[in-house]
A and B are shown apart, each in its own frame.
Chain A
Amino acid sequence: MGWGFAGPFVAVFGLVFLAPIGYALYLSLFQDRLIGGTSFVGLDNYGKALTDPRFWEGLTRVGLFLLVQVPVMLGIALFAALAIDSGRLYGKTFFRVAIFLPYAVPAVVASLIWGFMYGTQFGLVGNINDAFGVTLPNPLSPSLVLASIGNIVTWEFVGYNMLIFYSALKVVPRSLYEAAAIDGAGEWRVVTAIKLPAIRSALVIATIFSIIGSFQLFNEPSILQKLAPNAITSDFTPNVYTYSLSFSGQQHNYAATVAIVMGVLTAIIAYAVQLRGMRKG
């Protein structure tokens, strides 16, 4: 009877998750040449991917993105969650709802709003330049565009992570705070000695999701590409690269290989973070 209830989920899951993974593995073992058609090439595609400078360029870029954006975003989210949970804010419900709000905004709309605001034509950057007679660096220039994307992603997900932390903080037994107060522990001490250890698993989970998200970076660069065609190349991130290989270049076999390599890398790093995060306790 259990299968009767779980069956529909499992069947669709097989179709949209397991079958594509199997198909991708199959595709990655072949090559489609103009002359000679499709032929089995073993692991050649993997060798090609691992030595492909365009793949490495994108991977390095998302690595850098990950090292800077994820700590900044999680730091802000943690601060907001602790501030709301401390009960020392005026209007804490408003804070909670307003900070979470951007999560409901589609990546397309978020990228368009920020992209326009970054613009010098009718954006805020243009306004500031006109008002003060200065020339601010263009956020959509090749050297700054990654940071500008980081800002968009931070904006989109800071509230979501805040909510994860806040939900975890809410179930910390209040009696612990009482005991700490009796012992004369200050607020900062309560945060470091009680609250942070208590929500460690939420911190680990949020970190893992942010890492997976960073490795998958696609929507924001894909949309901003129209606003900054020179700054965002077709190999900007591994996913943008996979997309252009597959849909502009028709190199489906190689695209599947790059996607698998990225998937394996992501899983390894997510797993390592989980092991490390859990061991510390």
Chain B
Amino acid sequence: MTTSLPTAAPGSAEPAGRTPAASTRAASGTTTSKRRERRLPHTPLNPRPSIPLTLVAGLVLVYTLLPLAWLVVNATKDQNGLLDSFGLWFADDTHFWDNIGRTLTYDDGVFVRWLLNTLLYVTAGAGGATVLAVLGGYALATYDFPGRRAVFAVVLGAVAVPGTALAVPTFLMFSNMGLTNTPWAVIIPSLISPFGLYLMWVFAAEAVPTELLEAARIDGSGELRTFFTIALPLLMPGTVTVLLFSMVATWNNYFLPLIMIKDPDWYPLTLGLNAWNAQAQTAGGQAVFDLIITGSLLTIVPIVAVFLLLQRYWQSGLAAGSVKE
């Protein structure tokens, strides 16, 4: 599935009229109110935790964590261990570090090359997508310019166009322009995130009061200076959210590089792992299942780490996007 869009559960086309001050206050107030709640008696609004409900919900937890546990456990096994030992428990001997070393050095260190390519695509693609979305969202939220409504309608309409419907014509266009098989073919299409634009528009409408911009203008501040010194700091939480979701989308991208890149030297990690798997399944090809499994683990560790570290941002960013009815 290629739906890798950050959604904010947009309920209506109009942004909620919450002020940034109120949302920061609400965010910073969570921890204190939690502490206060503990001392209060259990009420319908603050119910006692339920063991049966926790157990049933625990089934969902087991479901989501089981494959990840399988991946970690099996990244410690060599080819023999994979075949001889039970999948959810460790083999007699551990090959974890050995596996990582072999993954990084196999085939002249091609995995490292793929990792660097992925970093390039993520930095340029997701970074660029965030810049464009922040500028565009800010413009839609704070300026009334001719064609503003049209821009918004066209971009939202484009969300319904399946990304893969664009793939063939984009490939042919880029092929005519001599861009296929170069990093540009992956970076340029990654620069557009309609949902990033939508999220920034909603966020900017809430977070940047027009009076503040008016005041800056009266004080003689230019439009660019106003944007960088006043608007940008207020837009930070939304910006981090958009950056995070664009990073996941680019880091995990498979379809776009699959059609655009034929040269393994320009593969991102996802295509590289896919190529190793294809090799392992081919008769006569070297079976490198241990490397595929360790490589998969190495591929998800950075992105999962970023997500966990920036939790506060994506959760508050998404919450800011959801709309009261």
A→B interface (CB under 8 Å): 1-6, 8-10, 12-13, 15-21, 23-24, 27, 76, 79-80, 83-84, 86-91, 95, 97-99, 101-110, 112-114, 116-117, 121-124, 126-127, 131, 153, 155-159, 163-165, 167-168, 170-171, 173-174, 177-178, 180-181, 198-199, 201-202, 205-206, 209-210, 212-220, 222-223, 226-227, 229, 239, 242-243, 246-247, 252, 255-256, 259-260, 262-263, 266-267, 270-271
Contacts and interface: CB of A to CB of B under 8 A. Distances in A.
Given A21-B166, A171-B323, A220 B1 contact: yes
Given A6-B135, A23-B169, A17 B161 contact: yes
Interface in B176-225: 188-189, 191-192, 197, 223
Given A216-B1, A259-B168, 18 more contacts: A2-B148, A17-B158, A19-B169, A27-B168, A87-B46, A88-B47, A106-B269, A112-B292, A122-B289, A127-B88, A171-B322, A206-B9, A218-B164, A223-B274, A259-B162, A259-B165, A266-B161, A270-B160
B269 to A, nearest CB: 8
Contacts of A163: 318
Given A87-B47, A242-B168, A259-B167, A159 B53 contact: no
Q: Kindly list the 4 A-B residue pairs having the minimum CB-CB distance in the complex, ordered from nearest.
A: A2-B143, A2-B145, A5-B139, A9-B136
Given A174-B45, A226-B277, A109 B192 contact: no
A120 B304 CA distance: 29
B274 A108 contact: yes
B contact residues, range: 35 or more
Nearest to A227: B281
B167 to A, nearest CB: 7
Interface of B: 1-3, 5, 7-12, 43-51, 53-54, 56-57, 60-61, 63-65, 67-68, 70-71, 74, 82-83, 86-88, 131-133, 135-136, 138-140, 142-145, 147-148, 151, 154-155, 158, 160-173, 188-189, 191-192, 197, 223, 227, 248, 251-252, 254-255, 258-259, 269-271, 273-274, 277-278, 281, 289, 292-293, 296, 299-300, 303-304, 307-308, 311, 318-319, 321-325
B2 A216 contact: yes
Contacts of B44: 177-178, 180-181
A226 B48 CA distance: 50
Contacts of B274: 108, 223, 226
Contacts of B143: 1-2, 5
Contact of B255 (A15, A76, A95, A218): A218
A6 B143 CA distance: 10
Contact of A155 (B63, B173, B192, B323): B63
Contact of B47 (A23, A86, A123, A159): A86
B61 A98 contact: yes
Contacts of A27: 168-169, 172
Contact of A112 (B138, B273, B321): B273
Contacts of B2: 213, 216, 218-219
Nearest to A203: B9
Contacts of A89: 49-50, 53-54, 57
A242 B255 CA distance: 12
A165 B276 CA distance: 38
